[in-house]
Amino acid sequence: MSGRLTAAGVKGCLKTNVLTLLTLGGVFAGVILGVALRPPGSQKWSQRDAMYVGFLGELFLRMLKALILPLIVSSLISAVGNLDLSLSGRIGARAIGYYMVTTVMAVILGIILVVAIHPGQGNDKGIQTVDFGRNTTTADTLMDLVRNMFPPNLVQAASFQFQTVLVPPTHEEELEYQKKMKNDSVVIPKEMFKISKTYRQGSNIIGLVVFAIVFGIVISMMKKKGEILLQFFTAMSEAMMYLTRIVIW
């Protein structure tokens, strides 16, 4: 019978899903160790103890992060370059559009949550607040998103993202404005903030995605002249996938 349970079928299923089973086993083992190694009473782990426990996990995450950019870029270039030219443009536009829409939705959701629940504002006297934040507007955030799609330096885009920051006026300028408006509690308008452009640490994924898609389309347009480049990125993509599997194991 086709639905009969056999030893060979069970063995094949376990062999196919061994990585998933090991991952679930690691989760349960982590929960058990977390409960068993918890210090007795009201004692807490020191920062150094936590660092020792999480050392192997930190190495694993560092290796995975090192593979993200070459894996994404090589996979996109090889995938788009191997597609038919009439389809590449549409698929590339859909990929960029999908990323844009999801990012804009994330920004809007973040703004709504900040306005609704005011994260970080607690009434606990033990909480120490730090005067730190990024002054910006929704328009600046959306324009930064478009600017990051066209990075001026691909090497820099691997580590940094462009960001617009509004620098608040000095205390003297604020007092002068309040005196002019004859109101000591007036809110300083955004027009008085100075526009500062900087780069913050973090990979500019959307810029690299746009470059990879356009580069793949160009390789596809070159036909025979671009076959060498296409073979290189295809081999690189397969090598990165293989290396990723090794790291995960």
Distance from C-alpha of 169 to C-alpha of 48, rounded to nearest angstrom: 42
Q: For the chain, what percentages of helix, strand and coil (3-state, to nearest 5) are there?
A: 70, 5, 25
For residue 43, being part of any structural domain is answered with: no
DSSP structural state of residue 40? S
For residue 74, being part of any structural domain is answered with: yes
Residue whose tokens read 């536009």: 93
pLDDT tens for each residue of 126-184: 555 544 455 677 788 888 888 998 999 988 888 899 988 888 777 777 777 777 776 66
CA neighbor of 211 nearest in space, from 155, 160, 159, 164: 155
For residue 102, being part of any structural domain is answered with: yes
For residue 41, being part of any structural domain is answered with: no
For residue 70, being part of any structural domain is answered with: yes
What is the amino acid identity at position 157?
A: A
For residue 223, being part of any structural domain is answered with: yes
Q: Is residue 148 exposed (0-12), middle (13-18) or buried (19+ Cβ within 10 Å)? A: buried
For every residue of 169-229, DSSP letters joined together read PPHHHHHHHHHHHT-TTPPPPGGGSEEEEEEEES--HHHHHHHHHHHHHHHHHHGGGGHHH
Could you list the beta-strand ranges (E) of the chain. 160-167, 194-201
Residue partners of 159: CB distance under 8 A and separation at least 6: 201, 202, 203
Q: What is the pLDDT of residue 243?
A: 93
- Inter-CA distances, 89 with 6, 84, 93, 204, Å: 48, 9, 6, 22
* Average pLDDT value for residue range 82-110: 70
Across the strands, what pairs with 167?
194
Q: What is the pLDDT of residue 31?
A: 87
Q: Residues 222, 76, 71, 23: is their CA dihedral positive or negative?
A: negative
The answer to whether residue 113 scores a pLDDT higher than 70 is yes
Range of the domain at 173: 52-112+134-248
The answer to whether residue 94 scores a pLDDT higher than 50 is yes
Distance from C-alpha of 117 to C-alpha of 110, rounded to nearest angstrom: 11
Question: How many distinct structural domains can be found in the chain?
Answer: 1
Label residue 118 left, alpha or beta by phi (over 0 means left) and psi (-120 to 50 means alpha).
left
Q: What is the CATH number of the domain that holds 181?
A: 1.10.3860.10
Label residue 64 left, alpha or beta by phi (over 0 means left) and psi (-120 to 50 means alpha).
alpha
pTM higher than 0.85: no
Residue partners of 129: CB distance under 8 A and separation at least 6: 120
Q: What is the pLDDT of residue 68?
A: 87
pLDDT tens for each residue of 195-215: 888 888 888 888 888 898 889
For residue 10, being part of any structural domain is answered with: no
Distance from C-alpha of 181 to C-alpha of 59, rounded to nearest angstrom: 57
Any idea which of 65-79, 82-96, 107-121 has the lowest mean pLDDT? 82-96
The answer to whether residue 231 scores a pLDDT higher than 90 is yes
Asked if 204 and 148 touch (Cβ cutoff 8 Å), the reply is yes
